[in-house]
Amino acid sequence: MLQDMLENVRRKAPLIHNITNYVTVNDCANILLACGASPIMSDDMGEVEEITSLCAGLNINIGTLNQRTLPAMLAAGKKANALGHPVVLDPVGAGASTLRTASARRLLENIRFTVIRGNISEIRALASGAVSTRGVDADGAYSVTEENLNRAVEEIRAFSRETGAVIAVTGAIDIVTDGERAFCIRNGRPEMSRITGTGCQLSAMTAAYAAANPGQALTAAAAAVCAMGLCGEMAMARMTPLDGNASYRNYIIDAVYHLTPQELERGAKYELR
């Protein structure tokens, strides 16, 4: 099942429009190329509608949000909706400032998102309006554990029904749900949180998977989440004693480059709840 998702990315090589932050943008472009897709970055009001029309999917990421690019996000998202292109939202830092929370909500009110991917703090901030995030990393107080997993799944399922989007919450255990079925995914490594932008990269890759698999947003998002986690595991197996987070970043993208559909199918660790 998951392997078809990656096969379609490789076969269709979807062009993905990214309006994203300047911190991790290079890694987002390289991971899109690694998985078999193609990136274009464009954030000016004067061209985003045209650019997104050329593409197969749109990835909106609000890291380093600013007042110049927010209108471009709205315009591109509406255009992508009108064209029936999948749109992914990464609400980086939602909850950390009023601007980010309010902007993310404004995006939600104006754009139908296919997938929303964030950590549990960000997703909770969107769902509840609460403001409290530790930087752009999952707040320890809010992490999803085996103990609170059922409760977390219900909470995220409810948010998925409310928004009509597949919600992908990543952390120690990842949850991906369309409001009905929920994938609980146990791929990945804790060391991935010591690299900036693994979440941003996953969101970009999720847009590629969704674009290459129309009408299958849940499975596509789950496949992207499994792929990222699995590549984190494969990259960790390659680490030498002197390698740290900079080498690990490269090895993860390298692993995405080489990941085969069969490896993804075999290596994905998930259960459906």
Q: Smallest distance from the beta carbon of 37 to a second copy, in angstroms?
A: 10
Q: Quick one: 61 or 177, whose CB is closer to a second copy?
A: 61
3-state secondary structure 175-208: EEECCCCEEEECCCCHHHHHCCCHHHHHHHHHHH
Q: Smallest distance from the beta carbon of 165 to a second copy, in angstroms?
A: 24
Q: 87-90 and 115-118: which strand pairing? A: parallel
Q: Quick one: 6 or 222, whose CB is closer to a second copy?
A: 6
The angle subtended at Cα 225 by Cα 195 and Cα 98, nearest 5°, is 65
96 binds a second copy (CB under 8 A): yes
**CB-CB neighbours of 81 under 10 Å:** 18
Residue selected from 2, 39, 205, 223 as contacting a second copy according to rule CB under 8 A: 39
Q: Smallest distance from the beta carbon of 96 to a second copy, in angstroms?
A: 6
121 binds a second copy (CB under 8 A): no
The pair of structure tokens assigned to 248 is 């690990």
179: left (phi over 0), alpha (psi -120 to 50) or beta: left
What's the sign of the alpha-carbon dihedral 117, 252, 76, 82? negative
75 binds a second copy (CB under 8 A): no
The pair of structure tokens assigned to 250 is 């490269």
What mask of x and - would describe binding to a second copy in positions 136 to 175, judged by CB under 8 A? Answer: xx--------------------------------------
What mask of x and - would describe binding to a second copy in positions 231 to 270, judged by CB under 8 A? Answer: -------x---xxxxxx-xxxxxxxxxx------------
Rounded-to-integer distance, Cα 4 and Cα 170, Å: 22
Task: Indicate the angle between helix axes 198-212 and 245-258, nearest 10 degrees.
Answer: 10
Q: Smallest distance from the beta carbon of 84 to a second copy, in angstroms?
A: 20
Q: Smallest distance from the beta carbon of 60 to a second copy, in angstroms?
A: 15
Q: Which residues bind a second copy (CB under 8 A)?
A: 15, 21-27, 29-30, 33-34, 38-47, 50-51, 54-55, 63-68, 93, 96-100, 133-137, 194-197, 238, 242-247, 249-258
